[in-house]
Amino acid sequence: MKILSIQSAVAYGHVGNSAAVFPLQRIGVEVLPVYTVNFSNHTGYGAWRGPMISPDEVSEVITGIEERGVFPQIDVVLSGYQGGEGIADVILDAVARVKSANPEAVYACDPVMGNAKSGCFVAPAIPVLLRDRVVPAADIITPNQFELGFLTETEPDTLESTLASVELVRATGPRTVLVTSVERPDRDDGTIEMLAVDDSGAWIVATPKLPLKANGSGDVTAALFTAHYRRTGSAADALARTTSSVFDLLSLTQESGERELQLVEAQETYADPRMQFDVRQVR
């Protein structure tokens, strides 16, 4: 499998491509990373150095890959956080060109815009751009529950309302939806859930909610789920494998006391997930 991953990169720590590439490689996926920024560290520190890469320069890199004759071999185009409006056009153009070269290729979009605690943390134009142009072009999306609400102009909270919101967004284009950070009133205390939905059904899984904020964990989640789903076609299997790997990654990070994901230390959890959580079909 080959994934063209168009995301940010940092030298220190793990977000964007610096979070997604190694776990994908560890499960046997060939990744072609294209960077949208090249920062010293993620912006959560409040200070960072390095360049944002202009949309034209990102497009040049993608064209160079195309000129090597690789597009017919690409199975997935993956995108995450979009720092500026211009990068969406570059991504959508790349998706169209890859799909023209390989009609079996899919586009997986992590529509990063914010979370329930922080609200939106991207430029005001980005959520609307994602909702109106980018998400409808995707085959797989991986929003958190807050982002799902914005995409559908709803307020999902219960399982039923979350499933209803998923169906609204699926009607716009993407047939496979992974909803992360699902928090519903009737869940078990101290847990957090993920929900995966495709044409064949819907599945939910609960894990203990760990007391840490880990930048980049969503990028790892989107990458692993996309790869597992593309490889097997099973939303339940992809959900189980991804949940196991990401929970163990977060557990190791918490135990370390470090702020950054312990991405390399957790490598065996990607290659050989323990599958310790029950995935329950809910539709």
Which of 47-51, 111-115, 133-137, 213-217 has the lowest average pLDDT? 111-115
Mean pLDDT of 133-158: 97
Is pTM beyond 0.85? Reply is yes
Q: Is the pLDDT of residue 119 over 80?
A: no
pLDDT tens sequence across 41-72: 999 999 999 999 999 999 999 999 999 999 99
Residue 117 confidence class, pLDDT cut points 50, 70, 90:
confident
The residue to which tokens 């040049």 are assigned? 60
